[in-house]
Amino acid sequence: MNNKTKLKKLTAFAITWPIFVEMLTHILMGNVDTFMLSHVSDDAVAAVGVTRQLLDFSIILFNLLGLGVGVIIAQYVGAKNFNYASKIAASAITLNFAFGIAISILFVLNRDLLLSFYHLSPELNDLAQIYLLIVGGTLFLEAIMLTIGPVIRSHGFTMDTMYVGIGMNVVNVIGNALLIYGLFGLPELGVMGVAISTAFSRILGFIFLVFLLYKRIQVPIAWRDYIQIKWREIIMTLKIGVPSGLEWLSFHFSQMMVTKMVTTLGATALATHIYASNIVLFFMLFSMAIGEGTEILVAQLFGAKKVEKAYKQLLRSLRWAFGITVGLILIVSLFREKVLLIFTNDLEIITVGSAILLFCILLEPGRVFNHVIINSLRAAGDVKFPLVMAIISMWGLKVPLAYLFGIHLGFGVLGVWIAHACDEWVRGVIHYRRWTGRKWERKLIHHIDSIQAS
């Protein structure tokens, strides 16, 4: 009864701030790796950065279920149908575990083929191979975590996953310090040390999430539920997760194509792109957290048939995300050179990177619309439209313009980021009009009725 009362009193802020901290810890994990490796070499930074794009691709595949299961379970929680929510969670965990094992094997056995896409130098390729072997081998744990995490958050316990994220980050930092710099007589392992720390923190995070799963959800999962797959509900989940996952696939494939263009500009350009991308993640953090928190709240409101309240909640969250993001960009742009000096002393990287960070004053507000609105469209079941827009805009605008501005016209890395801004603003404005046009309401009520009847 106490947990159910907590669910009723959840607000956007109560849901969002732990998600923000959790995302911050994940981003810090990557940036701490980059910062520590920058004291080893820029080659190490570039190798790990490129390899992470491949690993991010696998995470998108795992989210084909994870993105959908969070929405569906939040809707069932909003409808107070906790028994079915637990059964769906068990089915999703089983399927993503099997999928994760397959992907881990694929990454370990096909490292050469996967890395050949980037045409890396022999030195960079050797470093990337090490990282991909160790981190890729534990991807199946990430698959399970990406299923359990949304289940726990959809029940309203966003602070639990936040604490797990903080713990993983602390373990990773300590592991990096020990294995990169060879503290206390340990060997200086460089990229291998970063990979080992990442894998170990992932193992610990998995253990704690499984514990929290059984502690927090309303109806505990029975062992038989992992075997008795709820195929109808899994199909419902995939109808949301697959288009959402394909949208992210489109984004990351387009980013891989853009990164491939950047590699032709040389190692310095690639390092600049990686450093700037890591810094910009902090700009994105607020809108991403607000988007995810709003998605949970909107999905619960839909499950409770409070459609008008859900509609207005998105608009409030959008204003909040826009104001915070713009304010942060303006502050960071004033200290852009000092921020880059944290990572490197290379004057060419600092000069170009500073121009990119200044340009983000124009880029990031457009991205806010996409991060916040797309999540709520997903909560409403309107997932095909963002996918279509992603394919049209990313491949019809971003990739061609990246080549035009970055390579053909000679603007370099900055030209690539200009192309990225064009894509974000076009999609952002169209997604805003999609929400205010309320076309997503057409099938929503029928879907909610089926949930309450389950």
Q: Can you spell out the DSSP letters for 264-278?
A: TT-HHHHHHHHHHHH
Per-residue model confidence (pLDDT) at position 381: 86
pLDDT above 60 (res 453): no
Per-residue model confidence (pLDDT) at position 4: 42
First to last CA, the chain: 21
Contact 373, 314 (CB under 8 A): yes
Per-residue model confidence (pLDDT) at position 447: 64
**CA–CA distance, 214 with 208 (Å, rounded to integer):** 10
Grade residue 256 by pLDDT with cuts at 50, 70 and 90: confident
Using one digit for the tens of pLDDT, what is the confidence trace for 174-222? Answer: 998 888 877 887 887 888 888 899 899 999 999 999 999 988 887 788 8
**CA–CA distance, 171 with 132 (Å, rounded to integer):** 20
Highest mean pLDDT among 158-162, 273-277, 399-403: 399-403
Per-residue model confidence (pLDDT) at position 5: 38
228: helix, coil or strand? coil
Per-residue model confidence (pLDDT) at position 147: 92
Is the alpha carbon torsion for 10, 76, 386, 25 positive or negative? positive
Using one digit for the tens of pLDDT, what is the confidence trace for 269-307? Answer: 888 888 888 788 777 888 888 998 899 889 888 888 888
Selected residue with higher pLDDT from 335 and 8: 335
Using one digit for the tens of pLDDT, what is the confidence trace for 101-159? Answer: 999 999 889 888 888 877 777 878 888 888 889 988 899 999 999 999 999 988 888 88
Using one digit for the tens of pLDDT, what is the confidence trace for 314-334? Answer: 999 999 998 888 888 898 888
pLDDT above 50 (res 1): no
Whose tokens are 């099997």? That residue is 98
Per-residue model confidence (pLDDT) at position 8: 42
Using one digit for the tens of pLDDT, what is the confidence trace for 68-116? Answer: 888 888 888 888 888 888 888 999 999 999 999 999 999 889 888 888 8
11: helix, coil or strand? coil
Q: Which of 39-43, 51-55, 289-293 has the lowest mean pLDDT?
A: 39-43
Instruction: Tell me what the mean pLDDT of segment 351-371 comes to.
Output: 91
Per-residue model confidence (pLDDT) at position 446: 60
Q: Is the pTM of the predicted complex or chain greater than 0.75?
A: yes
**CA–CA distance, 409 with 402 (Å, rounded to integer):** 10
pLDDT above 60 (res 7): no
Instruction: Tell me what the mean pLDDT of segment 406-419 comes to.
Output: 91
Per-residue model confidence (pLDDT) at position 10: 62
Per-residue model confidence (pLDDT) at position 143: 92
Per-residue model confidence (pLDDT) at position 313: 92
- What DSSP letter does each residue of 57-88 carry, written as one string? HHHHHHHHHHHHHHHHHHHHHHTT-HHHHHHH
Is the alpha carbon torsion for 209, 211, 175, 101 positive or negative? negative
- Which percentage of the chain shows pLDDT scores above 70? 94
